[in-house]
Structure 1
């Protein structure tokens, strides 16, 4: 987790491969700029962007400023602050696949060493297509670029492979060049403020631990729904699908945080050990049971906010007979003492009724309703609702007496609402994650065995779906809550999907 601002960190050089890309302009540079505004960056730092496009340093800085002004949570950059920050930015046109182009990086690093009179930390950020990760790592090695195991780090964006085999191959290649402690695999969901707060909520409050088990919790729902379609990502998405794109990483990581055992302390490896324990405890989905444990869907045309939208198969760069799922819902069982018999339901999809991310902990019913004297006193089960987006809040739903002369009950919320309780904007996920890379803290980053364990969980379903065509695609209209059989998946256990109302 992000270190306090009074902890000293080394001078830092950040080399961004894909320096002219969308991720750099939307997320990476705005995050670094906001860290700079809050005095979280080292006093001496340099950002070197690189791509094939020819830019002067000034033209490159101007393009990044446009991204700051459009995407930064702090709004448009002030002239003096931007001038000070951008003076540390330079650009180098290069071919990632050409080892010779890396010599210029070495020259710049050595120049900065002499200027700073100190060896800096070197961060190699791979903001590029996943098929280039290994190429960059190999060329860093071949060109003898600085690779001090204590101060050199490589940052990898998801996806980490497209299946278990390719994930293992990627990890094997990276680990021949870097130590595991040098590799930072970014899953931006783990950097979100509310997700981090779940750890504090669980492990810093004595009252929660006695409730956090099979005795008191009936089931858990984790939902990440999107109102948008695939937009301009059709070519990528049609070879990926929602199970790879969301469940294998984001949603399984949320499940791990909810289900993990308390680590002995907040050491990065101890935290990640407990997450791996959860993944290894998930009951394997075996052939013959997949249709009872997983549901897939694909959106058709419809109307969203008064506008007609295309079905998935009509999107740009999508095959007209595509078998790729845009919706997935799954039921998981965790076979250990804490969670035996408690189902975990995960769902995610595109072109759904609303965009929202939340975790719902449904507690068991009271053993006996002593207030059962009419419809007004039909007790609702207690729920813990962790809202990640669009609202950031943690709310506990309890039953309480309605003021008056009679004993009538109503559900009330005990709420921690970020928009009310915090005086400043919560940092963006990339701010948290980049600060942790600079500080050398791997707590929020996935380890090789964690990535592979997550792939092992979903591979039976991925293989089955790829080898068995769905004849009824598309099977849910845009602006709905998904296919009907997703409701059946959870209804057979006596539950239903909980769709939260908009914040009032």
Structure 2
């Protein structure tokens, strides 16, 4: 698929654009990773002209770019790429003017659609009416893509009327993170891991995606969504797919996504005893008092801000290996990580020294730091008159330090350039989305059928005590 000469940004005046998209595009411009003639056209409801949009973009870059990126000449050059067309996406009337603003699209058009899900169908109809859905046009869709399988299918059906699957790029920004991509390198480029990466070598796996923030102005969205659909349905299930997938035949988009789909379709339906729902109450985060979810919302609510799950992948490789998953808001610290707990050695030959052997543990930290840490047993220095004494020590690979001379990229830089160039490997295919929603909808039915209540937890904690019990019933502790 050829590279696009024009990028169209919907929601160009919104928070995502200011914080992530415009800084990412600027970084690609500064490093000459996109062609000099690539145009960027922004559109939104705001009534701005080209100059006002460029002024807004310049302010966003000043606020969100790191200091070492603040190069006046480069910013000036980047702003020249930008133009703007005001648009009410709920009506097809303005799309003709948008098409005129964009001009010739024979060089290819990439569309980044970041609007409310209720506007997706109208937007696609508008693009189609204005001739902006041709064979050299591809579209990137920012989540949320529906609230359940039915609504997701409605959106995907609407998009499919104008774009074939090969030109639809569903965005999950976690897949653009460097450490997430390192999962495949870790597994498939290192002989020491892959032979043990199964039920013979692994006891259990933990996935934690913890936030310290609360609603952050997303009241209406979050109240209708909750932690299960906001985080587990997309980010966490994509991590499960990458962790549990079989080795793909090649590193092309089809092979990688085929293997992820197999994992998602192998997820065992969750029973009520294997799920914990929570909602944050009053407490303290980073030494500051914070209010409860319901106080933030200004109303009573049964929406979960925390969820913990015990999950199984029912296939040959992972049979009997539990995946413990948790995510939530107002937790003790901001952290995203994967913990792979290997099984213990079959016999302790060092028992004479009173040493208890800890099983090896691999910790893959995704944020805020990025590192891979392997916990191993090593001998303590000494003459060993009373037997050899061992101690657990870490073998650390800090990605930040190991690649300190390499410029760090945020996820949207990679995703935007892949969208412009037409590489779908790090985007989500429709059958992946459907498998994810099928499993998530089944969990919500279990909640309803078993009246699974929301348990309160103090802000600044690690969630409800029931989440601790979920693992400790199996003799497992979360990696806190």
The reply on whether 1:14 has 2:7 as its aligned counterpart is yes
**2:199 aligned with 1:214, yes or no?**
yes
Aligned twin of 1:138: 125
- Distance in 2 of aligned mates of 1:299 and 1:241: 12
Within 2, Cα distance between the matches of 1:97 and 1:190? 30
Distance 1:427 1:326 in 2: 29
Aligned-pair distance for 1:478?
0.6
Name the residue aligned to 1:29.
22
Aligned to 1:50: 43
Whether the 8 Å CA contact 2:142–2:172 is kept in 1: the answer is: yes
The yes-or-no answer on 1:394 pairing with 2:387 is no
Please give the per-residue CA displacement for 1:47-71, whole angstroms capped at 9, x wherever unaligned: 1111121212122111111111221
Alignment gaps of 5+ in structure 1: 1-7, 114-118, 500-504
The CA RMSD measured in Å over matched residues stands at 1.7
Which of 271, 289, 293 is matched with 2:256 structurally?
A: 271
Alignment counterpart, residue 314 of structure 2, candidates 335, 341, 344: 335
Q: Which residue of 2 aligns with 1:4?
A: none
SS in 1 for 2:112: strand
How far the C-alpha of 1:425 sits from its partner, in A, is 3.5
Cα shift readout 1:382-441 (whole Å, capped 9, x = no counterpart): 011100011100111111111222221111222210221111342000001111111111
The counterpart of 2:474, out of the listed 490, 493, 500, is: 493
8 Å CA contact 1:70–1:76 kept in 2: the answer is: no
In structure 2, the partner of 1:194 is 179
CA distance in 1, matches of 2:133, 2:357: 64
Corresponding residue number in structure 2 for 1:502: none
> Which secondary structure state, in structure 2, belongs to the residue aligned with residue 42 of structure 1?
coil
Out of 404, 417, 420, the position equivalent to 2:401 is: 420
- Give the equivalent residue in structure 2 for 1:404: 382
Question: C-alpha displacement at 1:172, in angstroms?
Answer: 1.4
2:348 maps to which of 364, 369, 373: 369
Aligned to 1:256: 241
Report whether the alignment pairs 1:450 with 2:432: yes
Determine helix, strand or coil for the equivalent of 2:318: coil
TM-fit CA distance, 1:334: 0.9
**Equivalent residues of 1:384, 1:397 under 8 A apart:** yes
* Alpha-carbon shift at residue 74 of structure 1 (Å): 5.7
Give per-residue Cα distances to partners, 1:261-293, cap 9 Å, x unaligned: 0110011011101000001111123xxx32x11
Match of 1:173 in 2: 158
Structure 1 residues 283 and 105, CA, compared in 2 at 3 Å: closer, same or farther? same
Cα 1:388/1:60, change in 2 over 3 Å: same
Q: Is the 8 A contact 1:133 1:156 kept in 2?
A: no
TM-score, normalising length: structure 1: 0.91
Give the secondary structure class of the aligned counterpart of 2:21. helix
Unaligned runs of 5+ in 2: none
Contact 1:294 1:328 in 2 (8 A): yes
Shift of 1:217: 0.3
Distance in 1 between residues matched to 2:133 and 2:220, nearest whole Å: 36
Contact 2:4 2:420 in 1 (8 A): no
Question: Aligned residue for 1:90?
Answer: 83
Deviations for 1:268-324, whole angstroms, at most 9, x for unmatched residues? 011101000001111123xxx32x111100010012223211000000xx2522000
Map Cα deviations across residues 212-234 of structure 1 (whole Å, 9 max, x no partner): 11100000000001111112112
Q: Which residue of 2 aligns with 1:382?
A: 360
Q: For this pair of structures, how many residues does the alignment match?
A: 476
Q: Distance in 2 between matches of 1:494 and 1:236?
A: 37
Establish whether residue 185 from structure 1 lines up as the match of residue 170 from structure 2.
yes
- Check whether the contact 1:327–1:350 (CA below 8 A) recurs between aligned residues: yes
* Residues 246-325 of structure 1 mapped to structure 2, 5 A cutoff: 246-285=231-270, 289-290=271-272, 292-315=273-296, 318=297, 320-325=299-304
TM-score normalised according to structure 2 size: 0.96
Mean CA deviation greater in 300-309 or 175-184 = 300-309
> How far has the Cα of 1:21 moved from its partner?
0.6
Structure 2 counterpart SS, 1:241: helix
* 1:422-441 correspondence runs (5 A): 422=403, 423-441=405-423
The 2-side partners of 1:10 and 1:249 are apart by: 27
- Distance in 2, Cα, partners of 1:146 & 1:260: 34
Residue deviations 1:160-202, cap 9 Å, x none? 1100111111111111110111111110111000000111111
Correspondent of 2:34 among 34, 41, 64: 41
Is 1:300–1:474's contact at 8 Å kept on the other side of the alignment?
A: no
State yes or no: 1:353 paired with 2:311: no
Deviation at 1:11, TM superposition (A): 4.9
Quote the Cα distance in structure 1 between the aligned partners of 2:156 and 2:61. 33
How far off its partner does 1:38 sit? 1.1
Say which is worse superposed, 60-69 or 190-199, in terms of deviation: 60-69
Once the two structures are overlaid, the 10-residue window that deviates more, 343-352 or 416-425, is 416-425
